[in-house]
Structure 1
Amino acid sequence: MKKVTLLSLVFCLSASLGLKAQQQVSIDLNTNDAKHVISKHIYGHFAEHLGRCIYDGFWVDPALNVPKKDRIRLDIVDALKKINIPNLRWPGGCFADEYHWRDGIGPRAQRPKMVNTNWGGVVEDNSFGTHEFLELCGLLGAEPYIAGNVGSGTVEEMAKWVEYLNFDGVSPLANLRKENGKAEPWKVSFWGVGNENWGCGGNMTAEFYADQYRRYATYARNYPGAPLKKIAGGANSWDTNWTDVLMKKIPLNEMWGISLHYYTIPTGNWTTKGSSTDFGEAQYFSTLKNGLAMDSLVRAHSAIMDKYDPTKKVALVVDEWGIWTDVIPGTNPGFLYQQNSMRDAVIAGSTLNIFNNHSDRVKVASLAQTVNVLQALILTEKEKMLLTPTYHVFDLFKVHMEAKQIPLKFSSPGYKVGNETVPAINASASIDAKGAVHITLVNVDAKQKISINTALNGLKWSKVTGRIVTSAKFTDHNSFDNPNKITARTFTGAKKSGNQLVAELPPLSVVELELK
């Protein structure tokens, strides 16, 4: 297959259902500029000891009538394997900085109980600990990403956890691991040195945390065959000063990455965030506006990092992101259980397009959270399980994993509500090792379809296939009574016409196209 020298995509947005004057938008993609690999770890996930994510999610009552290995729920495992889950971040979140790993090893009946003070004040029995988490990762085929305790822990505690996990030799910690049933080390690579240390992780200043990071990271050893990717606890949303201080005070060779946390709040108000299913177009729009800000946010922090690291050796790790709404009425406020609508799918696709387009700096991301919490992929109710619209978007986007990102340029038509406007379309593209081109497109407009007339210069291709996630209303969602209302379906709205690609994107749609 020849290299694609230029892909020019022409989008025609109907001004109305009456097909008045159409606005044309060109997207240029040049595969000769495809240099940066889209890391599969951009498609990572987050599982905190919070609500029903671990307990009654991944880790269930032995009496529950579902397929299990030990107490790990296997229908969840199978669903996540289907989307090639690359990594899983654990044990938090805020829980990480009150978690003491020794409480979660050894015979379960002898493990001490604790109170989860961050999330609902429930009793944590520590039955799901280090061995159980790493067994789960093994079943998933996912790399573990462990967040260490800097807030209430000690340097020695973290250092010995690394030794317990990774040392292949004779030592008290390696021997203890063997006594607990694991002869060979796990060789865990991704390691977070604390979490949200500006807040629940210790209410530290950036300067104090930077010094603490250097101290903790010094004793988190690289054992033979197990080099660590140490990730500094980065900024809360727009706090670029935090990023600046860390980049200035921590030598680049002492950290693999620096994290960033950003949640999309529909109302922009943390006190009253808005419902996950009961909202109108104005709140749909405000959610879009807040979610699409991720692009500006990544650019702002990347610009700070570029001052100190112009060759981009340090990764930006967006290890908490997603929509955060008010909880479902009648559920525990500390459990953060919310539904997942077509709005969530649109935000998920848009955010993943943003990460793909910043693949030179963004190397890891973690959606919050995997099961039953916030923008979850999976919801459970006793034996029942459903896949959310967000899950199906991840299923579409997995084609980009480890492919080369194709830079693109375009000017989107606007989606206007009231006096404000956001881009109606966003997109990313990649070329895989076999030469197939994948384009993911999101039409955020709740009313207007987008027609595509695409000229493909220099590309010999014979067919286009596609899949789509869409629904009539932005409030539509999957329920336990109707679990397949929104799924990934074959997209029949694209075809080859001469050497042109023509397609039509419905309103509220996430589309993946493959050209071969």
Structure 2
Amino acid sequence: MATRFEAVLNVDLDGPRISRHLYGHFAEHLGRCIYGGFYVDGAIRLDVVEALRALNIPNLRWPGGCFADEYHWRDGIGPRAQRPTMVNTHWGGVEENNHFGTHEFMELCELLGAEPYISGNVGSGTVREMSEWVEYLTREGDSPMARLRKANGRDEPWRVRFWGLGNEAWGCGGNMTAEHYAQEARRFGTYCRDYGDNQLYKIAAGANGADYAWTETLMKQIGHLGCRRIRSTGYHALSVHHYTLTGPTWEQKGSATAFDTDEYYTTMVAAARIEEILAGHAAVMDAYDPGQTVGLVLDEWGTWFDVEPGTNPGFLYQQNTLRDALVAGVHFDVFHRFADRLVMANIAQTVNVLQAMILTDPDSGALVLTPTYHVFRMNQGHQDATSLRVDVRTAPPSRPVGDANLTTVSMSASRKDGRLLVSLSNLDAGAPADVRIEIRGGTLETVEAQILTSGAVQDHNTPQTPSAVAPHAHDGVSVAGGALRVRLPAHSFVTVSGIL
């Protein structure tokens, strides 16, 4: 029997704009993300580019991750045969040949139509090293680094706004205290200069999950409690990292595909915790920055399970099921609600690592689009749209999961160019839901809907069954009497769009 849920949507009351950068991506030198994913046999893999262009990906974060704080950018420029090698100590202990470096990454971003987001080396690098990387990429005219760039085949500078001041400084990025890192971020950020009209947006390496004290320490470097005038510092935003983890220990995170219903619900509770995490960091930031001039960046998020059997444990290769897609749907609904403070988010990672958009088969070369990929594509219309608040009229359906209570219907809405987009997830593994949404402040006429679901939450796509979990038209939607009615089958993700 279907559960029933009623809500109200005021389409003429604008909420904050949903930045397209909330749909950002992450590519680290890790496993087969770069080599064997984006970059094969000395060239960018164009079918991967084509698939990602269909998502309109707004930005791509690189080269890490933990790898960023052992990466020295000068090793990745110049003739490839002359580039020195290094050992990727964080991810599998493999040798990195540096064939994919700055120029290759910028070419990839140009092909994707995505803005580059570069994470600089604070952990093992120097202020001069990062400062010169900014100069190399963005300064025109005559200067030492501009001349070096031109000698390597690029006359005109690139536009690179987004710069990360290290990564996970509390851990793999240097095992620093918050107080020490805050000073380092100010120092490194000071020497990352604006050249011409390229205005840098510098992002300090922020907290791990619910470490709100780390965020407060960084905010103290920017302003005083309740201060609306923000002092000039070395950074414009703070990051936070939070993964959906469900296993009993770090060493036992659970299988990406072989899980039961109880494990499924535990995963959904863990995914929904992103609301608490963002609310906690936003509250700390609001105390020091009520004018919301400092951005919050969730530049690593996603599911993290055990690697697929028989693969390198340091490569973090995992399958991607309908469960992962529903995790993504829940996250985006939360992102939309925090669009006033959250300015960017980057899923980890884009190809062949963790909660990937794309999996490539190393034997056949086949490219597989994951269920998570389809959520990104179905939600494209939210990018740079105006968020709309959804008010509940009746209590949303829920179920107890251990000591927690899981709300099983999640939704968000936005408006752009006269078109409404509503995203809904039914997290109940067994029961459908009927949702009635009263539309106020406008008239919604014809609508169309897509649905992403399958027979089981464990279903996933493979080279042999590439469309086992794929979107299709959904006929369980109607408009009558000023209300939108949506039928949500069990474990489904649905988007509804229509002209206002």
The TM-score bracket by the shorter chain reads: over 0.9
Aligned residues: 487
Contact 2:6–2:436, Cα closer than 8 Å, also in 1: no
Counterpart pick for 1:138 among 89, 110, 117? 110
| 1:412 is the counterpart of 2:396 | yes
The equivalent residue for 1:428 is 412
Structure 2 residue corresponding to 1:58, chosen from 30, 38, 47: 38
Corresponding position of 1:381: 361
Partner of 2:380: 398
Answer yes or no: is the 8 Å Cα contact 2:444–2:479 preserved in 1.
no
Structure 1 residues 458 and 239: alpha-carbon distance in aligned structure 2, compared to 1, 3 A threshold: closer
- Aligned position for 1:27: 7
Measured against aligned partners, the alpha-carbon deviations of 1:349-375 in whole angstroms (never above 9, x if no partner) come to: 100111011100111000000000000
Corresponding position of 1:4: none
1:106 to 63, 78, 81: 78
In structure 2, give the amino acid aligned to 1:480: P
Match of 1:3 in 2: none
- Matched to 2:82, the amino acid is Q
Amino acid at match of 2:398: G
**CA distance, structure 2, for counterparts of residue 401 and residue 81 of structure 1:** 14
CA contact (8 A) 1:414 1:421 kept: yes
| Equivalent runs, 1:233-382 vs 2, <5 Å | 233-250=205-222, 252=230, 253-254=232-233, 255-267=235-247, 269-382=249-362
Correspondent of 1:79 among 51, 61, 68: 51
Residue of structure 2 equivalent to 1:14: none
Q: Percent identity?
A: 51
Q: Which runs of 5+ in 2 are unaligned?
A: 224-229
> Among residues 490, 493, 505, which one is paired with 2:476 in the alignment?
493
Query: Match for residue 227 of structure 2?
Result: none
- Structure 1 segments (4+ residues) deviating >6 Å: none
User: Given residue 182 of structure 1, which amino acid in structure 2 is its aligned partner?
Assistant: R
Aligned-residue offset at 1:262: 0.4
Tell me the SS of whatever aligns to 2:241: strand
Residues 172 and 418 from structure 1, CA distance in 2 versus in 1: closer, same or farther, beyond 3 angstroms? closer
| In the alignment, structure 1 residue 231 sits paired with structure 2 residue 203 | yes
The answer as to whether partners of 1:268 and 1:290 remain within 8 angstroms in 2 is no
Q: C-alpha distance in 1, partners of 2:443/2:405?
A: 37
Q: CA deviation at 1:96?
A: 0.1
Aligned counterparts of 1:458 and 1:216: Cα–Cα separation in 2: 49
Q: Quote how far apart the aligned CAs of 1:269 are.
A: 2.5
Task: Decide whether aligned partners of structure 1 residues 35 and 458 sit closer, same or farther in structure 2, where only a CA change above 3 A counts.
Answer: closer
Q: Deviation per CA, 1:158-209, whole angstroms, max 9, x where unpaired?
A: 0000000110110010001011111110020000001000000000000000
Deviation at 1:495, TM superposition (A): 1.7
- Mapped pair 1:175 → 2:147: yes
Contact 1:399 1:438 (8 Å CA) reproduced: yes
Q: Structure 1 stretch 243-252 or stretch 316-325: which is displaced more?
A: 243-252
1:445 aligns with 2:417: no
Deviation, 1:454, is 3.2
Q: In structure 1, which of residues 196, 213, 218 is the aligned counterpart of residue 190 of structure 2? A: 218
1:47: which partner in 2? Answer: 27
Q: Which range is displaced more, 93-102 or 481-490?
A: 481-490
Distance of aligned partners of 1:170 and 1:418 in 2 relative to their CA distance in 1, 3 Å threshold: closer
Amino acid in the other structure paired with 1:397: N
Aligned amino acid, residue 434 of structure 2: S
What 5-or-longer segments of structure 1 have no aligned partner? Answer: 1-16, 63-70
Structure 1 counterpart of 2:452, one-letter code: V
Which secondary structure state, in structure 1, belongs to the residue aligned with residue 198 of structure 2? coil
The TM-score, its normalising length taken from structure 2, stands at 0.95
Partner of 2:120: 148
In the aligned structure 1, how far is the partner of 2:46 from the partner of 2:243? 29
2:378 is matched by which residue type in structure 1? L
Task: Name the aligned partner's letter for residue 495 of structure 2.
Answer: E
Alignment pair present for 1:115 and 2:87: yes
Q: Secondary structure of 1:33's partner?
A: coil
The one-letter amino acid paired with 1:345 is A
**Displacement of 1:471:** 1.2
- In the alignment, is the contact (CA less than 8 A) between 2:10 and 2:439 conserved in 1? no
Say which SS state the counterpart of residue 379 (structure 1) adopts. Answer: strand
Q: How big is the alpha-carbon RMSD for the aligned residues of Structure 1 and Structure 2?
A: 1.3
1:504 corresponds in structure 2 to 487
Task: Quote the residue 2:167 is aligned against.
Answer: 195
8 Å contact 2:9–2:439 — kept in the other structure?
A: no
Is the Cα–Cα contact under 8 Å of residues 259 and 317 in structure 1 kept in the other structure?
A: yes
Comparing 473-482 and 134-143, the one that deviates more:
473-482
Separation of aligned partners in 1, 2:237 and 2:354: 25
Structure 1 position 498, deviation (Å) = 4.2
How far has the Cα of 1:501 moved from its partner? 2.1
